[in-house]
A and B are shown apart, each in its own frame.
Chain A
Amino acid sequence: MAAEDRPVLTEDRESDGTLDVGRGLDALDTPTEHRAPWWKRFATSVVPPVVAVVLFIVVWQILWASAIWPEFKLPAPGAVFGEIGTQLVSGQALSIIWTSISRAVLGFLFAVIIGTPLGLLVATVPVVRAAIGPILSGLQSLPSVAWVPAAVLWFGLTDQTIYFVVLMGAVPSIANGLVSGIDQVPPLLPRVGHAMGASRAQSARLIMLPAALPGFLAGLKQGWAFSWRSLMAAELIATSPSLGFGLGAYLNYGQTQSEMEVVIAAIILILVVGIGVELLAFRPAERRILRARGLATGP
């Protein structure tokens, strides 16, 4: 509204100068992201754990060869990997792993379905938080194995027993993750939403939930870990032909038969599944979510 009153020359010089400064500031202040070349990332992220595993096996082999402990206490690495190989070739390993994984995934999904609304309720309704918030945090430190005897008495040796133990392990983690995710949303964000006229539902869907996503994902990750270890505990203690033959039962079989290579093979398989799900499902999701927010560090 004032531009036409100004001498043209002044305006031009002035806006040009301003423009140059602005461009200079943009160029200088814009954060630059350095991404290391793939071989460097490979060398820093893949090589160290592989070296660690190889070293571990070498030490194990040396200890076995020095025959300090009898064979039934410390089997040769070769015998353990032979056992895993046999099970893999016969297809038995896949069936064992599938029995456990399908249970863990199903239990985890149930836990998400129960834990998410529970977390939302605790995070947003003060009375509910005061009433069950502390219990929910307390349940997180209760090992879910403690529920096995009760579950066996309530449900008998059925799948319900196993799912109950998995749920008791995973639901608190998932709900608490969502609660802390929502608690950590900067208060300015919902205020901005309010100032822009967001309704309660819009604010929840477009602002609060995406903002709480990193915390929720951390809760999901922990919930999965708890599902998996609760499942192993339940399968190990509650064994019955009616419950199928999962990794826990396989581990239990090794113990009753006093076959150390089976025991260690089972432990390795449990570990591999746990790490595999973490690496294939949670790590990529986490990286994507954090990188989009500029929170990811490292490769």
Chain B
Amino acid sequence: MTVTLERPGPTPRTGPPAVEVKGVSKVFGRGDDAVVALDGVDLSVAPGEFVCLLGASGCGKSTLLNVVAGLDQPTTGTVDRSSSRPAVMFQESALLPWLTAGRNVELPLRLAGVGRGARRERARELLELVRLDGQAEKRPHELSGGMRQRVALARALAAATGLGGSGATEVQPGVLLMDEPFGALDAITRDFLQAELLRVWEATGTTILFVTHDVRESVRLAERVVLLSSRPGRVVREWGTGVDTDPEELHGDITTELREVISAHGR
């Protein structure tokens, strides 16, 4: 099954960037053992934009994501976020196994002190958005891997958007950081979840920064693909995926460049 999504070119976006990374470096260890994971990375993501960070293993893309998430502090440089706290989704769903799907989605709202009724209603909405209506009472072990990742997506949306645009407050679309979230799934489930993610992104207007090592995935999902080099991680090049670009050609281009980056390490 192939689902082709026709998207218009990057729509001009206004307002300050949702995420702005300036000159971020990250060094692990000290002295001779020091490993430079990131070296002077600049990256700006507009509100509502879908950006893929692409790179071979060890390129520090997860490190960059952790720095943007605030889970890790950069050695030098700054990270500015417009939204208060970006939500993170990992390769494993990381659902709490003793809570039902609904309670898992409620958890970020509970941590934020939202009342029971409001957060239950919001969890129901979000589960419906990821097509899991009626599954709120199931426990994670009663769900398939793909369904668990969709619960995790609903939970991340709850974390990123809070109660959504209820009442007079303006909708806060939030920022979603995804660290190879579909990496552990089989091909057909991954394909389905990619389509679902695009649908949810279009429905919510959330900003997404998506880490992957899969060129095809990045070309399919992102509006902009950013290639990182390995050790130290630097931004090598970026590509836009507008209407005029041919996905196959773009896939070829990016793969060539990625091979180039990887071969440089063998020399």
Binding site for B on A (CB under 8 A): 1-3, 5-6, 10, 14-15, 17-19, 21-22, 25-26, 28-31, 33, 186, 188-189, 191-199, 202, 206-207, 210-211, 213, 289, 292-295
Contacts and interface: CB of A to CB of B under 8 A. Distances in A.
B116 interface: no
Contacts of B111: 193, 196-199, 202, 206
A18 B143 CA distance: 19
B1 A195 contact: no
B147 A21 contact: no
Given A2-B8, A18-B195, A188 B94 contact: yes
B3 A189 contact: no
A197 to B, nearest CB: 5
22 contacts: A2-B6, A2-B202, A14-B4, A17-B1, A17-B3, A21-B192, A22-B131, A22-B196, A25-B146, A25-B188, A29-B145, A30-B143, A30-B147, A31-B143, A188-B90, A188-B92, A195-B71, A196-B87, A207-B96, A211-B96, A293-B98, A294-B140
Return the 5 tightest CB-CB contacts between A and B, nearest first.
A294-B141, A29-B144, A195-B88, A293-B97, A196-B108
Contacts, number: 108
Contacts of B87: 195-196
A21 B97 contact: no
A15 B159 CA distance: 27
Contacts of B90: 188, 192
Contacts of B96: 189, 207, 210-211
Interface in B100-133: 107-108, 110-112, 131
Nearest to A198: B111
Chain B contact-residue range equals 35 or more
Given A188-B90, A294-B140, A15 B202 contact: no
Given A1-B11, A17-B1, A195 B144 contact: no
Given A26-B146, A30-B147, A191-B71, 10 more contacts: A1-B202, A2-B8, A18-B195, A196-B159, A207-B96, A213-B98, A293-B97, A293-B98, A293-B139, A294-B141
